[in-house]
Amino acid sequence: MEEVKKEIRFPVHSIGKRKTSVARVWMKPGNGNILVNRRPLDEYFGRETLKMIVRQPLELTETVGSYDFLINVKGGGISGQAGAIRHGISKSLLTVDPGVRPVLKKAGFITRDSRVKERKKYGLRGARARYQYSKR
């Protein structure tokens, strides 16, 4: 039986999330330009580690310079935003080439990191921290 190839229609759209950040990612064939909120990646993220986090899925799947990305990201801090972008890029790459799934899954880029800040409870100082007990 012949395998039917699904035609990919560009641009590919996906959503990535991390903490309270949400990244909307549009991907199309190009030469590796990444725009985050209408600014180049190097200008938007100052720290080298955050730029590395965003590029990880591309380096892992050896597609650096193959696609252009237009990314809108909202909410959270810059670290959460970088994680959300990584998640969104990974999902876009999966849409184009399902063969990269094992590589991305092993690296943990497909799974949405569900760790969020725990809410403060009433009668306590924080989520779990209590006020100091005074016996006398």
The 10 Å Cβ neighbour count of residue 1 is 3
Average pLDDT taken over every residue of the chain: 93
Q: What is the separation of C-alpha 49 from the centre of its chain, rounded to a whole number of angstroms?
A: 14
Q: What value does the mean pLDDT take over residues 41-55?
A: 95
pLDDT of residue 16: 96
Distance CA(44)–CA(85), nearest Å, equals 12
Q: What is the separation of C-alpha 64 from the centre of its chain, rounded to a whole number of angstroms?
A: 16
- Dump pLDDT digits (tens) for 21-31: 999 999 999 99
Q: What value does the mean pLDDT take over residues 89-112?
A: 94
Question: Is-above-0.95 flag for pTM?
Answer: no
What tokens does 10 get? Answer: 């560009």
Say if residue 126's pLDDT is above 60: yes
10: confidence class by pLDDT, cuts 50, 70, 90: confident
pLDDT of residue 4: 62
The DSSP result for 43-100, as a single string, is HH--SHHHHHHHHHHHHHTT-TTTEEEEEEEESS-HHHHHHHHHHHHHHHHHHH-GGG
Q: Considering just the CA atoms, what is the radius of gyration of the chain in Å? A: 19
8: confidence class by pLDDT, cuts 50, 70, 90: confident
